[in-house]
Amino acid sequence: MDDVHTDNQKLDDLLEMVQFIKDHGASQASVDELRDDMKGEISGLRKEMNEEISGLRKEMNEGFENLGDEFRSELRDVRKELEEIKTKLDALEKTAMEDTTAIGGNTIKLHTHIQILEKRVQRLENAQKEHA
């Protein structure tokens, strides 16, 4: 009798499992419906991601374009300033050369004048010695 009871229990358990699978189990139609839903969701996500990526690429390209414009503008300003500095340096060198030439000419004139004065002093000293 125990075997019959055990067999009945096993049969009841199996029936309960079959009923559960029947109530909660997935049919081919529900699996197909789920697959189609997931395909739609994935397709929508892909589209959103592609749009986001496209937008980011556009932003990056515009940013790099603006950066290039800023770089070229700054480079142009630096070149202009460099040319101004070169012009000022050339003018300063020219003035320095003119001043050096003028100083050199004045130095020569002063040396010549000193030599003349030294000769005069020498004559005056000689003349004083002769009269003394």
Cα separation, 52 vs 59, whole angstroms? 10
Share of the chain above pLDDT 90, in %: 35
What is the rounded end-to-end Cα distance, in angstroms, of the chain? 174
What's the pLDDT score for residue 10?
79
> What residue type is 90 in one-letter code?
D
Q: What is the pLDDT of residues 74-107, one digit of tens each?
A: 999 999 999 999 999 999 999 988 888 888 888 8
Q: With 70 as the cut, is the pLDDT of residue 26 above it?
A: no
- Tokens 């589209």 sit at which residue? 47
DSSP 48-116: HHHHHHHHHHHHHHHHHHHHHHHHHHHHHHHHHHHHHHHHHHHHHHHHHHHHHHHHHHHHHHHHHHHHH
What's the pLDDT score for residue 53?
93
The token pair at 103 is 């100083």
The token pair at 6 is 């055990």
**How high is the mean pLDDT of the chain?**
86
Q: How far is CA 28 from CA 12, 15, 25, 41, 55, in A?
A: 27, 22, 10, 20, 40
Q: Residue 54: which pLDDT band, with cuts at 50, 70 and 90?
A: very high
Q: Residue 33: which pLDDT band, with cuts at 50, 70 and 90?
A: confident
What pTM does this model have? 0.43
Q: With 70 as the cut, is the pLDDT of residue 2 above it?
A: no
